[in-house]
Homo-oligomer: A and B are copies of this chain.
């Protein structure tokens, strides 16, 4: 299935599944939709926190097309599930935005670790949460985001346990992709970034860390959703975690070198 074919199935309602594992060579994206009044602050937040919020594309006010991410893409219907946040609370989950759409909405598409997981697996690195068909383990840290307007809070990280040689290779591979979170932000002792119980992730599922492995931590695309919740804005729309926007952008085209 091409990304365009998948988006057509999403648009018609035939596809309403998590998107992990579909259209492997193509980048998937986290989605944030905000009124224009908060768009500048959120853009600034993304630019000040690029490891957690690497921007793939930002639309013009009211624009629901994003040609740079896919010909014919319609952001109102091409994501399998949307979260509607009102005053920082999850108010509703919907499958299309036509009824909610406003001329002042600004779309932000943010890189997703599904892309670099594919690169790691292509390099022969086993990912335990993939092998065990679980969600990746995610943790709130004590790493403060750089605030912008109402957006602040702490960085959320995803963790993958690896043998040292794989961790070193993973630093090399992910360093090439600043647009999909780039290099790890930490490895080794979780307490040094404020993660005091590695067996209890704040999001996703716990995975075992073997004696010959170290935990490797990447900035996570859940960070902006945390920032959005804390900002308690009247209305913000995101994708549902795991139900991503599948783009026409080849992961390989995002390599910085």
Contacts and interface: CB of A to CB of B under 8 A. Distances in A.
Interface of A: 164-165, 167-168, 171-172, 175, 183-189, 192, 212, 214, 257
Nearest to A213: B188
B187 A168 contact: yes
Contacts of A175: 171-172, 175
A186 B165 contact: yes
B189 A167 contact: no
Contacts of A192: 164, 212
A200 to B, nearest CB: 21
A165 B183 CA distance: 10
Listed from nearest, the 7 A-B pairs whose CB atoms lie closest are A171-B171, A188-B214, A164-B186, A172-B175, A164-B188, A164-B187, A257-B257
Nearest to A212: B192
A187 B172 contact: no
Nearest to A211: B189
Q: Which of A168, A171, A185, A192 has the most CB of B within 10 A?
A: A168
Given A168-B185, A168-B187, A172-B175, 14 more contacts: A164-B186, A164-B187, A165-B185, A165-B186, A168-B184, A168-B186, A171-B172, A171-B183, A187-B187, A187-B188, A187-B214, A189-B212, A192-B212, A257-B257
A141 B199 CA distance: 32
A122 to B, nearest CB: 18
8 contacts: A164-B186, A164-B188, A164-B192, A167-B188, A168-B186, A171-B172, A172-B183, A175-B175
Contacts of A172: 171-172, 175, 183
